[in-house]
């Protein structure tokens, strides 16, 4: 079964003059109607200039190999917050919160090095036991024979518990992390309480106070293997509290990075298996396929829709000249559906020969720090589900998708485990 293609969207995608196509419109992702627009761009104008996008003029890079070439060329394409950062929308300077994802070398490399031990193989092995135990507990608490929200009961709860562990954050207060993560990522036009950048700041100031207290406590104690302690003792990061914007930026990077993306992959995995029931049957017959299914989930879901760069010099990409100062969006969601790079890219296939061939974690110096941790959480979730040998977990209604062109988020997914 192929993913549903909205008939009006297909018509619109091909009827619109190509220079009028604006794939930065968050409605395309909220309504899940983005596919035909990118299909057309990949075929007809793979490096596409949009003059009047809702977030200004920008280039779209839509093919797998061109995205790789931009993502791995940090000399020509900057992530620096002062240049505009990593998302298409330009924030006023006052509201920019630099973090190492929105920095170029050498500062990026120094700060990244400080936190990367959290996902070193030895630490992941230690975390695996805790994750398995918690996953089992959450699954055993789920109702049978009645509809419940998979996002809240499973995806959010599991990723929030993990995040609390990574930060050594007070466990009972962990939903604060979920709340701040949602606040940090909300689009101001989405109709949530975050209707302006000033409102976002007002709420996140409370998060800053909370984290600052934890930070000062940890700074006084000997170093420990949690993210706050690592940052508080790290040579490149110990003075972060004296730069509140950057302090906030780095804390929120780790909160959002470790939260929404994995959460949406957990929800996406269930959606995918329901849309492709033959794959579900294959998986139940051969649970060892979990290993190749997880990277396929992450490709199919593509939790990060785009990352932006700003050109530091005139650069040719697939025959087009990108001028110094231009904004460039790398649409991972499109590269992961590029039929020249991936066979049957629209389909969810749990036993692909090269399942890790996808763009969801990016490439180059900013490639996701948490990729192995995310895969491990998802693998344990599905191993534990399969151990319980439930019949199919049924999706009972359409997913509720979020108004965003950055995160491909699912905010609710009604499901039922047959009694």
Give the one residue of 56, 225, 287, 364 binding ligand HEM; rule: CB under 6 A. Answer: 364
The one segment of 133-141, 176-184, 286-294, 299-307 that binds ligand HEM by CB under 6 A: 299-307
- Omega before 4 cis (within 30°)? no
Residue 293 near residue 350 (C-beta atoms within 8 A):
yes
The one segment of 56-64, 211-219, 358-366, 392-400 that binds ligand HEM by CB under 6 A: 358-366
Report CA torsion sign: 293, 42, 26, 415.
negative
Using rule CB under 6 A, residue 261 touches ligand HEM: yes
Q: How far apart are CB 249 and ligand HEM at their closest, in Å?
A: 11
d(CA 311, CA 313): 6
Give the one residue of 55, 169, 300, 361 binding ligand HEM; rule: CB under 6 A. Answer: 361
d(CA 307, CA 29): 15
Report 164-203 residues binding ligand HEM (CB under 6 A). none
Give the one residue of 367, 388, 391, 397 binding ligand HEM; rule: CB under 6 A. Answer: 367
The one segment of 54-62, 185-193, 236-244, 254-262 that binds ligand HEM by CB under 6 A: 254-262
Using rule CB under 6 A, residue 360 touches ligand HEM: yes
36-42 own/partner pairs: CB under 8 Å, 24+ apart: 36/5, 36/9, 36/10, 36/12, 37/9, 37/13, 38/62, 38/331, 38/333, 38/334, 38/337, 39/13, 39/337, 40/13, 40/14, 41/334, 42/334, 42/337, 42/338
Give the one residue of 98, 295, 370, 399 binding ligand HEM; rule: CB under 6 A. Answer: 370
Residue 254 near residue 166 (C-beta atoms within 8 A):
yes
**Length of the chain (residues):** 419
Using rule CB under 6 A, residue 374 touches ligand HEM: yes
Report CA torsion sign: 122, 126, 127, 132.
positive
d(CA 176, CA 168): 13
Report 97-156 residues binding ligand HEM (CB under 6 A). 100-101, 112
Q: How far apart are CB 12 and ligand HEM at their closest, in Å?
A: 28
Residue 135 near residue 127 (C-beta atoms within 8 A):
no
The one segment of 38-46, 169-177, 350-358, 359-367 that binds ligand HEM by CB under 6 A: 359-367
The one segment of 10-18, 258-266, 314-322, 397-405 that binds ligand HEM by CB under 6 A: 258-266
Residue nearer to ligand HEM on the CB measure, 254 or 272: 254
Using rule CB under 6 A, residue 225 touches ligand HEM: no
Q: How far apart are CB 18 and ligand HEM at their closest, in Å?
A: 27
Which residue is listed with tokens 């992702």?
Answer: 29
Q: How far apart are CB 409 and ligand HEM at their closest, in Å?
A: 12
Give the one residue of 204, 232, 283, 298 binding ligand HEM; rule: CB under 6 A. Answer: 298
Residue whose C-alpha is closest to residue 3's, from 47, 38, 33, 41: 33
Judged by the rule CB under 6 A, the positions of this chain that interact with ligand HEM are: 71, 100-101, 112, 253-254, 257-258, 261-262, 265, 298, 303-304, 307, 360-364, 366-370, 373-374
């Amino acid at each position: 079964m192929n993913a549903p293609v909205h008939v009006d969207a297909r018509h619109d995608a091909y009827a619109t003059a190509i220079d009028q196509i604006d794939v930065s419109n968050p409605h395309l992702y909220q309504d899940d109607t983005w596919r035909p627009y990118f299909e057309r761009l990949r075929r007809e104008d793979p490096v596409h200039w949009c003059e009047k996008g809702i977030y200004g003029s920008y280039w779209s890079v839509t093919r797998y190999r061109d995205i790789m070439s931009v993502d791995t060329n940090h000399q020509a394409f900057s992530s620096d917050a002062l240049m505009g950062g990593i998302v298409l929308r330009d924030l006023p300077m006052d509201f920019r919160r630099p973090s190492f994802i929105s920095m170029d070398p050498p500062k990026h490399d120094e700060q990244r090095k400080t936190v990367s031990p959290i996902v070193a193989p030895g630490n992941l092995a230690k975390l695996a036991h805790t994750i398995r135990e918690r996953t089992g507990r959450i699954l055993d608490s789920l109702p049978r024979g009645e509809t419940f929200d998979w996002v809240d009961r499973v995806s959010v709860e599991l990723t929030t518990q993990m995040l609390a562990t990574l930060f050594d954050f007070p466990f009972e207060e962990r939903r604060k992390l979920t709340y701040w993560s949602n606040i940090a990522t909300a689009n101001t036009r989405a109709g949530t309480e975050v209707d302006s950048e000033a409102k976002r700041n007002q709420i996140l100031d409370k998060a800053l106070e909370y984290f600052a207290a934890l930070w000062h406590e940890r700074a006084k104690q000997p170093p420990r293997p949690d993210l706050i302690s690592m940052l508080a003792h790290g040579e490149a990061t110990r003075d972060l509290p004296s730069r509140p914007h950057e302090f906030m930026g780095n804390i929120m990077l780790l909160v959002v990075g470790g939260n929404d993306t994995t959460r949406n992959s957990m929800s996406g995995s269930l959606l995918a298996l329901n849309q492709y029931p033959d794959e579900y049957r294959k998986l139940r017959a051969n649970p060892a396929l979990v290993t190749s299914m997880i990277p396929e989930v992450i490709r199919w879901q593509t939790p990060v829709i785009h990352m932006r760069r700003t050109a530091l010099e005139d650069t040719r990409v697939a025959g087009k000249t990108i001028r110094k100062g231009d904004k460039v969006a790398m649409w991972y969601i499109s590269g992961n559906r590029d039929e020249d790079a991936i066979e049957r890219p629209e389909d969810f296939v749990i036993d692909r020969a090269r399942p890790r061939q996808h763009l969801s974690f990016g490439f180059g110096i900013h490639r996701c720090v948490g990729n192995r941790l995310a895969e491990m959480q998802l693998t344990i979730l599905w191993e534990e589900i399969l151990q319980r040998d439930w019949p199919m977990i049924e999706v009972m209604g359409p997913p509720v998708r979020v108004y965003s062109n950055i995160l491909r988020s699912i905010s609710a997914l009604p499901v039922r485990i047959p009694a």
